[in-house]
Amino acid sequence: MTTQASQVDPNFKPFHGRLLINGDWCGAEKGGTIERRSPAHNYVVGVYAEATESDAERAVKAARVAFDSGPWPHMSGSERSRILRAVADGILSRKDELARLETLENGKPLAQSLAEIEGAADLWHYAATLARNLHGDSYNTLGADTLGVVLRDPIGVVSIITPWNFPFLIVSQKLPFALAAGCTTVVKPAEVTSGTTVLLGEILIAAGLPPGVVNILTGPGRVVGEVLVTHPDVDMLSFTGSTLVGKQAVAKSAQTLKKVSMELGGKNPQVIFDDCDWEAAVDAVVYGIFFNAGQCCNSGSRILVQDTIADKFAAAVVNKAKQVHLGDPLLPGTQVGAITTEKQFETILAYIEGAKRAGATIALGGARVSRAGYFIEPTVITNVTPNMAIASEEVFGPVLSVLTFKTVDDAVALANSTLYGLSAAVWSSNFSTCLTAARRIRAGTVWINTFLEGHAELPFGGYRESGLGRELGRFATEDYTESKTLQMHLGARTNWYLPKP
Ligand code: NAD
């Protein structure tokens, strides 16, 4: 592990963000604000309006009116597509500003933020293509006197609630697809990383989005999020965050029977067979756990290694992990930045202590880095057994657990042994082994001989407690629709009531 000194710009001015309601930027009704400090540098980088229930009510109302009486749901796919493309171009034209703010609020390396902003723009471009392709179905097979048509109707007002680990990328996995379908929305980013979502609001307005179609609320989840989850005028909830809060949100939203799309936690295994491409697998394991300081729903936070190579493989991972560049996320070359919040920092350290107490071995790291900010050493834990919390619970930090297996059956059973099912990887030079394992692992994504790749065309989401529904892919816009059946009768209808003969 190498670390680099922090860099503080003396001319830096924090970003100020307000609420976007019905096309207007405004302060919170009660005048409150939230301050955000950089987790890597500990200076104030953002100041946001702290929305309350009444602001949330106004935002939902604006979205409702924009849906019920505004132009957006009735625009042609081609017009909506043009605006989504303009948003994508607007994102790219402000990508440096967006990336810098993302890094300052989240603590992730600047080059990574830049790549994420560019990836997000690609999602807006992809959604623009779907806006023109959304269509229903027709049935010309129901008999000479019947024609059936199935319409795709935008579902209505969608609440979009996002977490702090990939703030801009995740809002871009949801919002453009909801807009492509013709929905109107209220968006609530995580309170610690609101900046880039607020900047997105400026880009949306510049692209010509009508007022009320996207409303943005910065504020605490338990206040603002609560309104968005329970409000009767909201038709659908699209949520990404922890499984705990996600389950509570589903239960509360059930009072008004909202449709839900939930992207939640994971404890994702990389299964390493003894005939794997060694270099590639070691590199992907290190990348899979230390990318974004392990704060990914998709983190490869446990590796299952065939017992014949387990010690040697773990040693190679430790050796490579020592070379990872940890440090100031603003400096070029940094690969691992800060942990995003103090609370998460404490949670990760507590998991490491728990693993020690349970009898596991800290093969690398295991402590905070002695510098300002919330930095944790890349950590590798061996002698982990399936019954330990570190083997089955989501740590959401740079902490890798190493477990072993003997046969394909063992590997699959171990892979499927947690409550989660978001993603997994299988490493073997025998494709038959890869496919046998991949087909039996219960996860929404299984990578084969690679890890953490993503494409707009491929659906993403989880089995079991990792979520409900799928984002991305060609059906992504359909998720934001209701289907409506039109049954048409042609010619004279046979009466039900027949006069007595
Ligand atoms: P979190 O659940 O604490 O918060 C997520 C969002 O919910 C935030 O905007 C928060 O303000 C809001 N919220 C909090 N309490 C609420 C309430 N009572 N009602 C409504 N909204 C409320 O999650 P987090 O700590 O921000 O993010 C980390 C978690 O997100 C991890 O578990 C991670 O695995 C998960 N995640 C999942 C995916 C995925 O696609 N599956 C992607 C990224 C993150």
| Contact status, residue 156 vs residue 67, Cβ threshold 8 Å | yes
Report whether residue 105 contacts ligand 1, using a CB cutoff of 6 Å: no
pLDDT band of 422, cuts 50, 70, 90: very high
pLDDT of residue 215: 98
CB atoms within 10 A of CB 444: 22
What is the spatial distance between Cα 323 and Cα 23, in angstroms, rounded to a whole number? 49
What is the spatial distance between Cα 456 and Cα 471, in angstroms, rounded to a whole number? 9
β-pair partners for 481: 154
Element of type H or E holding 125: helix 110-131
CB atoms within 10 A of CB 353: 12
CATH second-level architecture of 269-448?
3-Layer(aba) Sandwich (3.40)
Q: Does residue 6 surpass a pLDDT of 60?
A: no
Q: Tell me how far apart the 2 most distant CA atoms of the chain are, in Å.
A: 98
What is the spatial distance between Cα 413 and Cα 386, in angstroms, rounded to a whole number? 11
- What percentage of the chain has pLDDT greater than the value 70? 98
C-alpha triplet 296, 302, 307: angle, nearest 5° = 160
Q: Quickly tell me which residue has 């389950």 as its tokens.
A: 247
Q: Does residue 131 surpass a pLDDT of 80?
A: yes
CB atoms within 10 A of CB 244: 11
User: What is the average pLDDT across 265-273?
Assistant: 98
pLDDT of residue 12: 82
Q: Does residue 218 surpass a pLDDT of 60?
A: yes
> Which residue ranges make up each domain of the chain?
9-264+466-485, 269-448
pLDDT of residue 219: 96
Best residue for ligand 1 mutational test, from 164, 245, 258, 262 (most atoms within 8 Å of Cβ)? 245
Best residue for ligand 1 mutational test, from 34, 161, 296 (most atoms within 8 Å of Cβ)? 161
pLDDT one-digit tens code per residue, 313-342: 999 999 999 999 999 999 999 999 999 999
User: What is the average pLDDT across 163-181?
Assistant: 98
Shortest-distance Cα residue to atom 42 of ligand 1: 297
What is the spatial distance between Cα 284 and Cα 296, in angstroms, rounded to a whole number? 15
| Contact status, residue 276 vs residue 425, Cβ threshold 8 Å | no
Has 434 been annotated as catalytic?
Answer: no
Query: What is the residue-averaged pLDDT of the chain?
Result: 96
Selected catalytic residue, list 50, 297, 377, 434: 297
| Contact status, residue 161 vs residue 131, Cβ threshold 8 Å | no
Nearest atom in ligand 1 to the alpha carbon of residue 189 is 9
CATH class in words for 9-264+466-485: alpha beta
Secondary structure of 336-400 as H, E, C letters = ECCCCCHHHHHHHHHHHHHHHHCCCEEEECCCECCCCCCCECCEEEECCCCCCHHHHCCCCCCEE
Shortest-distance Cα residue to atom 20 of ligand 1: 225
pLDDT of residue 5: 47
User: What is the average pLDDT across 355-363?
Assistant: 98
| Contact status, residue 247 vs residue 183, Cβ threshold 8 Å | no
Q: Does residue 7 surpass a pLDDT of 60?
A: no
Tell me how many helices (H) and strands (E) the chain has.
Answer: 14, 21
Structure-block tokens of residue 51: 């929305």
Rg over CA atoms, the chain: 24
Best residue for ligand 1 mutational test, from 224, 240, 291, 348 (most atoms within 8 Å of Cβ)? 240
Is this model's pTM higher than 0.85 or not? yes
Gap from CA of 106 to ligand 1 centroid (Å)? 14
Has 263 been annotated as catalytic?
Answer: yes
